[in-house]
Structure 1
Amino acid sequence: MVQSKRADVAIVGAGIIGLSAAFRLQQAGRQVTLIDKSGIAQGASFGNAAALAFSDVLPLSAKGMMAKVPGWMLDPLGPLSIPPAYFPQILPWLVRFWRAGWRDRREAGIAAQVALMQLASTEMADLTLAAGTDHMVRSNGSLELYESEAEFNASLPGWAIRERYGIGFEHVRGQELSTLQPGLASRFAIGTYVPQWQTVAEPYEFACALADAVMGQGATLVSQSVTALAPNNDGVTVSLEDGGVVQAAQAVIACGAWSKTLTAGLGDSVPLDTERGYNTTLPSGAFDLKRQLIFGGHGFVVTPLDQGIRVGGAVEFGGLKLKPNYARSDAMLKKAADFMPGLKTTGGKRWMGYRPSMPDSLPVIGRSKASPNIVYAFGHGHLGLTQSAATGRLVTDLVQHQTTPIDVAPFRADRF
């Protein structure tokens, strides 16, 4: 016998995006049912780089990545890897990625990202205060590092764009650089300090603390896979893998890399693919790390956490079924040891997660073409944690049929 549950708003996905939307919807007086096969924050929200990167407004295609791709591809453990068998599948995504870097689309994309980031900054401050998680946010800034004058000079156009939008930063050398982060290898003589950049003490614990606030306000959690959503006369039918259904007045799709199949069933074909990100988390005492370090030329970051130090990043396109290649984690850790002499590399825990990425580096936020009662919130790539509170605010306004604080047209599902 098919079991049917009733819900006010059903949110498919209990990661940081779904939890932020749930919290905001509860503040608006709505009852929330979270549906996630794995439970709370078991996807990209579990082991990400912990950054609240509000200044990261440039699309990846505008950071000179296309010029770096051929060289990176020659290194199977480098910043970008695509298994040969997966290349035909990812090729349309790569073409759209390349096109998003053209001037006619790049400027519009940056403007949309700036608007979302500005909202993200104010909404995150408000959400963490309301949820009692503000003590888990650190405001130590970030330090991006360059190995040569040529690499530094190549970064300057991007910093000029940020300056145009009022984003603060400071280029540093010599003693200033050493003060911001002692113990770096001498090959790094130049850096850019971004004071606005924040991190959270530990991403999984941060998400769990928000989940505690959500559950404490009466939310329920259904631990099931969702196989389909369909509009009905009363709202939305959410079909579950065990044959049960949730009958909801409205629904939100916020299940990251797994969202594509559900939206396709609703008539929205989105070019969402999966960046498989790797990291190693070292125990406390591995290095006296003052703030997040960004090694852009090598595609990874090093982050101080309550539990230690996380070394991670890089991109591997391979879908949701390919087995993890933890040699990628090891390669980043080896580089980190070269860049940070004295780093203790023993006792680490390796992890791989799925980043849901769109070619233009903008998420999908908006209503489904199938029904105004279904709202999309996924595809944030490297910026899910950063943009979670802003997405929660926008989702709530869309569900409530209220005017959003920024234009959501740039994030619509059919923009391609």
Structure 2
Amino acid sequence: MSRSDVVVIGAGVVGLSIAIAAKMRGLDVTVIDREGPAAGASAGNAGAFAFTDILPLASPGILKKAPKWLLDPLGPLSIPPAYALQIAPWMLKFWRACQPSRVAYSTSAQTSLMDLSKAELEGFLSATGTLSMLRKDGNLQVYESDAEFQASLPGWEARQKHGIEFRHMDAAEMATLQPGLAPRFIRGTFTPGWYSIADPKLYTLALAEHFHALGGSIEIIEVKALQPVTDGVEISTADGRKRSAAKVVLSAGAFSHRIAKTLGETIPLETERGYNTTLPADAFDLRMQVTFGGHGFVVTRLTSGIRVGGAVELGGLDLPPNFKRSEAMLKKAQTFLPGLKAAGGTQWMGFRPSLPDSLPAIGRAKVTPNVVYAFGHGHLGLTQSAGTARIVADMLTGQAAAIDIAAFSPQRFG
């Protein structure tokens, strides 16, 4: 039976960041993944380090928008009828997390993790040889009416209280930053502190290469169960073998709750199924990421092309993709960016692991301190990867946490 100091389950951006941080602390680290590096949401996301995105999805504002959105099966938020009954308990927890006092608590916790992640990012990129992939172009959020703009102001006031820089502007000012917007967008807000990566898949693969260069190993095999043992953790895999580790980090994205259940923990993890279309690089002269918040999607510039994607479909892991959602976003994008060339795109759907209060689960398993959970980052996995890696590496080496992580307790839902 092989044995490592640490086994990290999950070769997405969070898992690999943790593995590198642990390896740099002198630990013997092995990564196990069911498909290999960058096979899931880490490959197809919008590539943003969205440090200004501190407001949880669970909020009073979403409760006002949700009924209208849910009536549109191709809208920003949808629940397939075949999944509605199964997700009902999660939705109840989501509704509870929308209470103002809970939102304030989640926002404060999210801000602390964002601040840590931003502080850790450039040092981590330098150490892994990926700093050249970082972009600091900012983000432009656009509004179609004064009413929509006014409705956004409480969110910007909350960001201002947390020291986030932004600038409101009119259509003429927006045109100087991002030419080609449709005239229907009359107001906008620019956030210069919004960073991005040149390509999320290439970045995650570069992390895998760096981990190999440090002497780490990555194995492609599915983990079926974890079992605490006297001197660590026993790992059962899909081929019937067992291996052991002194410590295990569970960072398997949308599949993490299934493995946690083998330890007797029921964690309410659901999947925000995200859709996008990646167009050729010359599809539009995009200067920065543009967010169409009223429609739940973004358009972003990557080295691999122009990516149009977003929205939330709460549909679990097993239903087939509904690529009509990608098509609907692309059709809107053509209207919003009249010069956009929509031919030659590649569609994608991925699972974004989401907990009801929009915060990740970072902390030890209930039954053993030798299993550390680090999953449930929703659409903020890339954003919070460096900060999460710092926290988990500190936990693995007995160091005090850089921030208070009580709000991220995996046991917070009872």
TM class by smaller structure: over 0.9
CA deviation profile, 1:235-293 (whole Å, cap 9, x unmatched):
11111000112211110000010000111221221111011100000001000000000
Residue 225, structure 1, aligned to residue 222, structure 2: yes
User: Superposed, which structure 2 residues align to 1:93-172 within 5 Å?
Assistant: 93-172=90-169
1:20 counterpart residue number: 17
Query: Equivalent residue for 1:362?
Result: 359
Deviations 1:65-92 (A, max 9, x none): 1111111111111111111121111111
Deviations 1:201-227 (A, max 9, x none): 000001111111111101111110000
Give, in whole Å, the separation in 2 of the partners of 1:42 and 1:253: 16
Which of 41, 51, 55 is the matching residue for 1:54? 51
Give the number of equivalent residue pairs.
413
Where in structure 2 are the equivalents of 1:277-288 lying within 5 Å? 277-288=274-285
TM-score of the pair, normalised by structure 1: 0.98
Query: In the alignment, what sits opposite 1:10?
Result: 7
Q: Is the 8 A contact 2:365 2:371 kept in 1?
A: yes
Asked if the contact 1:229–1:239 (Cα under 8 Å) also holds between the matched residues in 2, the reply is yes
Residues 1:394 and 2:391 aligned together? yes
**Secondary structure of the structure 1 residue equivalent to 2:58:** helix
Aligned equivalent of 1:338, options 335, 340, 344: 335
For residues 83 and 204 of structure 1, what CA distance do their matches in structure 2 show?
28
Looking at structure 1, the residues matched to 343 and 280 of structure 2 have their Cα atoms a distance apart, in angstroms, of 8
Shifted more, 93-102 versus 43-52: the winner is 93-102
**In structure 1, which of residues 408, 411, 414 is the aligned counterpart of residue 408 of structure 2?**
411
Pick aligned residue for 1:248 from 234, 245, 248:
245
The separation in 2 between residues aligned to 1:158 and 1:266, in whole angstroms, is 39
Listed one character per residue, the Cα deviations across residues 345-380 of structure 1 (whole Å, up to 9, x for unaligned) are 000000000000011000000001111111000000
Q: Is the contact between residue 145 and residue 188 of structure 1 (CA under 8 Å) also seen in structure 2? A: yes
Query: Structure 1, unaligned stretches of length 5 or more?
Result: none
Match of 1:265 in 2: 262
Superposed, 1:176-255 pairs within 5 Å as 176-255=173-252
Structure 2: 5+ residue stretches without partners: none
Secondary structure in structure 1 of the residue aligned to 2:73: coil
- 2:299, 2:308 within 8 Å by CA — same for their partners in 1? yes
**SS at 1:257's partner residue?**
helix
- Give the equivalent residue in structure 1 for 2:380: 383
Question: Partner letter of residue 319 of structure 1?
Answer: G
Q: Confirm or deny: 8 A CA contact 2:60 2:99 kept in the other structure.
A: no
Helix, strand or coil for the counterpart of 2:91?
Answer: helix
- Structure 1 vs Structure 2 CA RMSD: 0.9
Alpha-carbon distance in structure 2 between the residues aligned to 1:303 and 1:5: 43
Q: Percent identity among equivalent residues?
A: 54
Question: How big is the shift at 1:63?
Answer: 6.5
TM-score (norm 2): 0.99
Out of 128, 149, 172, which is 1:175 matched to?
Answer: 172
Deviation readout 1:320-358 (Å, 9 max, x if unpaired): 111111111000000000000010000000000000001
Correspondences of 1:311-326 after superposition (within 5 Å) = 311-326=308-323
In structure 2, C-alpha distance between the alignment counterparts of 1:287 and 1:138, rounded to whole Å: 18
Structure 1 runs (4+) deviating above 6 angstroms are none
Deviation of the 1:124 alpha carbon: 1.1
